[in-house]
Structure 1
Amino acid sequence: MKNAIKFLAVLILACTVTFGVQVKAATAITSYTFNLRNLERNPVEMWLFLDSPQFSQDPGEIFQNSNTFLEIPPYTPEETQKFVAHVQYKLEATQQNEPVGLDTYITSDFSKEVDLKNGYLVEYSSDKGGYPTIEDYNTSRQPTSKNLIAQTNKFEPVPDYYNALTFGVTTTEGTTGVTWEPEPNIDYTITPTLTFYIATGEYQENVLAQIDATSAENAKITTGYGGDFNNFNNVWVTYNQDGTWTVENQPWQD
């Protein structure tokens, strides 16, 4: 099955016990460390999701799209599980046979590393079975140091053939982002906020979901000034015995 476009901030996750990855990026990479603690008696599967960025154009309905998860055993002070996130933005595009919607499976065809203050042209085919392309482009709207612009071409709708757009992150586990269906001939100005959610539940890899930002069942983790990370970009996330979450910017006192 084909699928969507993905504006991805490349997030490389490294589990301290099992894996670590380095990537070559065009610009300096900021790293974020998520320290994870499970106070339940049994292992839990923790999923990483990304909140929506800010848009100049209303993208319509947005869905979370992730295949990034870890099984976290009951906590012991001797061994802390963690994600290490290295952020580099990336653009991916795809055309697919199913519409963008809840419980739809989404993957991607084409990818390109992208940067803030730059514009890009995303061209979709007007023929069924066609593939998209992505290239640097002098977009009609000027990007700033805080955003990037993805401009879609004047594609014609194709019966039973769909396009999608996702801004998110790529990880050593896979990817995580937010997906929506783009319109033709639109310049989407995307301002990253890099707000994350960690959740447990019956999620599936690359199957679109919707995360309730106000739910106590999710840990909301924000970056930037006044966010949840400390000065060294570390955060400590606890899954409590009652199913709630605690987010702290200092180490646990065992």
Structure 2
Amino acid sequence: MKKGILLLIVATLLWAGNYICGRFLGPALPATLLNTVRWAISTIILFGLLILNKKKIPVFVRWKEFSILGFLGVFAFSTLNYLGLKSINASQAGMISAGIPITILAFTPLFLKEKIKAKAWIGAAISIIGVILLVKGKSSTSSEGSIVGEIEILLSCVAWGMYTVLGKKYGKNIDPLTLTAGAALYGTLFSAISCIGTVQPSMIHMTKNAWICIFYVSTLASVVAYFAWNAGVKIVGAGRAAPFINLLPVWTVVLGVLLLQEQLSGVTFVGGIITIFGAILASMK
């Protein structure tokens, strides 16, 4: 159980970095092209790992599972995030992601037929309270984001909730590495198709920092984070994993302070502590 919790924490920390990079990459690449490049590189790395581990790659045998997870977790979730980050800042996007546990808990009984214990709901509720404090603590320094950007991030929460629950279901017969690689392949194909007729060369403005961010989101925020999340969910279960997504706003605030020199108020600090407490409570036996 402790290993699973650690994997979930690592995954959320790496994804928080993805929000920071998403802001840097917004002016450099269209969201659909950015997602295609990111996951094309990630897919090559993942399939290389499969070959090194001498694992079979059931690209066509498991096409249904891979295509569903690829559409939800790779194409929809990531593209919607990058679209939203064009109009709202990283901290706002990370805080909105606190809605993900609710979608996971809602979809778990529907797809997995699992009963969610009251303690998991309580833990999720406590985490939400912590996130509300986080938002309040950041409200004085955060600019008002567009409604469209907020809706895009909210829709990404729904996509990730379904991805997590279905990943748990399909993970019973497929190991995490193969599951992530297959989803990455099909998700990249969906992203590439979405670029047709929507991306022009004049939209591309790459810089040195943009290339560094591309490297980060293609490796740590994709391969390592997705593998850690899938493995963690498999160990602790989808319901118990749900509140850990609420660590995202905590990490985004921390990274904002360290990398963007944002101010950390007392209210924000208390909110982070409460958010972490809620995640731990939901994961305890």
Q: Pick the structure with more strand per residue.
A: 1
So what's the TM-score if we normalise by structure 2? 0.25
Q: Pick the structure with more helix per residue.
A: 2
Higher relative contact order, structure no. (Cα contacts within 8 Å, ≥ 6 residues apart): 2
